[in-house]
């Protein structure tokens, strides 16, 4: 869409797509990539019960046939039971094979929970069994505050503590929690290797662009079929593909920390429907005032969101970087990327 075309008006409708055509286009690309480029025989996809993995699984089933898609359900002791239930429902709906792998033993063996809890005790000495926690960011709209994480912890009797962690403890909490995404990816590749399948990643454009993924965790994959789609467009595809209504209506959640956590407090500065439009506007040089008029925000607030987008993009450069070589080491740059 050309934002400089005569008569252009910035509104939510810029993200409307022809869902039928886009679903066919992606399915065609998935077939091409998996069969011809990667020479694999099917696709493994980790299914979370959320909209993104649901749409990816559905597109892969459409592209390759449901018999060539394996969906992994990978709960752990802190993930929500609803995620597992919705994931199962999706697999039944699509007719794809579901394999359940409880990753709790892997996480216990790697020290995920223990290392995290020890780090949390740096500021909350009584943190232990029965406690739950999450990390949260301050809002972006009404302050110029740097977006620095705090931890929120809840005791077994419901007392809530919010604190800023010392840097080392904060980084240890994040690094420990990243075991979850990496353990899941390890199992996805176990099944992919076993079956000579490719692994499909499930980031949408917001996540891919803004670095909302764990490097070599959910950021790792052989194909990422919806990385070019804004979240609103993922919902449009989900409706077109006929995904179960309770998956389409579920609020986005990270399901990574033991306390419920919205994606806005964890990463994005706005709910996805506004975040989508701000990201689009940032990339199409739409003035903050015009964006604000469409979203019910003022220009200063939109400016803050733009700055947050830029800051996240800067941080995402490391996350998205392939291994860097001193000199080229293969004639084919695609091969060089894989080493």
Partner 1 sequence: MNVQETVKKYIVEAMLMGRGGDDLAGDTSFLARDILDSTGVLELAFFLEETFAIKVADEDMVPENLDSLNAIAAFVARKQARVAADRGGVAVSSSGR
- Footprint of partner 1 on this chain (CB under 8 A)? 138, 143-150, 164-167, 170-171, 311, 314-315
State the nearest-atom distance from the C-beta of 119 to partner 1, in Å: 14
State the nearest-atom distance from the C-beta of 301 to partner 1, in Å: 15
Of 171 and 287, nearer to partner 1 (C-beta) is: 171
CB 107 within 8 A of CB 217: no
Of 236 and 256, nearer to partner 1 (C-beta) is: 256
Of 165 and 281, nearer to partner 1 (C-beta) is: 165
State the nearest-atom distance from the C-beta of 262 to partner 1, in Å: 18
On the CB side of 338, how many CA atoms lie within 13 Å of its CA? 9
State the nearest-atom distance from the C-beta of 168 to partner 1, in Å: 9
Q: Is the dihedral of CA 50, 55, 58, 63 positive or negative?
A: negative
State the nearest-atom distance from the C-beta of 40 to partner 1, in Å: 37
Of 79 and 261, nearer to partner 1 (C-beta) is: 261
Of 149 and 230, nearer to partner 1 (C-beta) is: 149
157 contact partners, CB below 8 Å, separation of at least 6: none
Distance CA 4, CA 286 (A): 9
CB 12 within 8 A of CB 272: no
Of 29 and 175, nearer to partner 1 (C-beta) is: 175
Nearest to 96 by CA among 73, 65, 55: 65
**Phi, psi (degrees; rounded to nearest 5) at 324:** -100, 135
Q: Write the burial class of residue 262 (CB in 10 Å: 0-12 exposed, 13-18 middle, 19+ buried).
A: middle
**Phi, psi (degrees; rounded to nearest 5) at 281:** -65, -40
State the nearest-atom distance from the C-beta of 318 to partner 1, in Å: 10
Distance CA 253, CA 262 (A): 5
Of 142 and 283, nearer to partner 1 (C-beta) is: 142
Q: Look up residue 330 and give its DSSP letter.
A: S
Of 103 and 165, nearer to partner 1 (C-beta) is: 165
Nearest to 205 by CA among 146, 282, 148, 294: 282
In the chain, count H helices and then E strands: 14, 7
CB atoms within 10 A of CB 17: 16
CB atoms within 10 A of CB 38: 16
**CA of residue 23 relative to chain centroid, distance:** 20
State the nearest-atom distance from the C-beta of 163 to partner 1, in Å: 10
State the nearest-atom distance from the C-beta of 147 to partner 1, in Å: 5
């Amino acid at each position: 869409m050309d934002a400089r075309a005569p008569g252009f008006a910035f509104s939510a409708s810029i993200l409307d797509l022809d869902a039928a055509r886009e679903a066919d286009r992606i399915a065609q690309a998935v077939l091409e990539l998996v069969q011809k480029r990667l020479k694999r025989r099917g696709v493994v996809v980790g299914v979370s019960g959320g909209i993104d993995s649901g749409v990816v699984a559905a597109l892969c089933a459409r592209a390759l046939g449901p018999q060539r898609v394996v969906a992994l359900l990978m709960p752990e002791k802190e993930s929500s039971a609803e995620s597992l239930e919705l994931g199962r429902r999706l697999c039944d709906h699509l007719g794809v094979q579901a394999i359940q792998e409880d990753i709790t033993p892997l996480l216990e063996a790697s020290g995920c929970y223990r290392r995290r809890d020890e780090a949390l005790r740096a500021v909350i000495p009584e943190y232990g069994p029965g406690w739950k926690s999450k990390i949260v960011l301050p809002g972006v709209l009404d302050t110029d505050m740097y977006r620095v994480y705090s931890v929120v912890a809840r005791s077994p009797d419901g007392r809530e503590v919010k604190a800023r962690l010392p840097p080392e403890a904060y980084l240890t909490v994040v690094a420990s929690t990243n075991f979850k995404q990496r353990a899941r990816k390890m199992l996805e590749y176990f099944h992919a290797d076993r079956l000579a399948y490719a692994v499909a990643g499930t980031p949408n454009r917001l996540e891919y662009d803004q670095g909302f993924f764990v490097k070599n965790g959910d950021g790792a994959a052989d194909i990422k079929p919806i990385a070019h789609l804004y979240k609103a467009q993922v919902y449009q595809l989900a409706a077109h593909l006929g995904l179960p209504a309770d998956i389409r209506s579920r609020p986005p959640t990270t399901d990574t920390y033991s306390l419920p956590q919205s994606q806005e407090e964890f990463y994005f500065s706005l709910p996805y429907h506004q975040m989508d439009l701000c990201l689009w506007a940032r990339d199409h040089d739409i003035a903050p005032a015009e964006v604000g008029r469409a979203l019910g925000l003022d220009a200063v607030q939109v400016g803050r969101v733009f700055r947050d987008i830029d800051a996240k993009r800067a941080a995402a450069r490391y996350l998205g970087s392939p291994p860097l070589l001193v000199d080229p080491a293969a004639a084919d740059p695609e091969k060089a990327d894989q080493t």
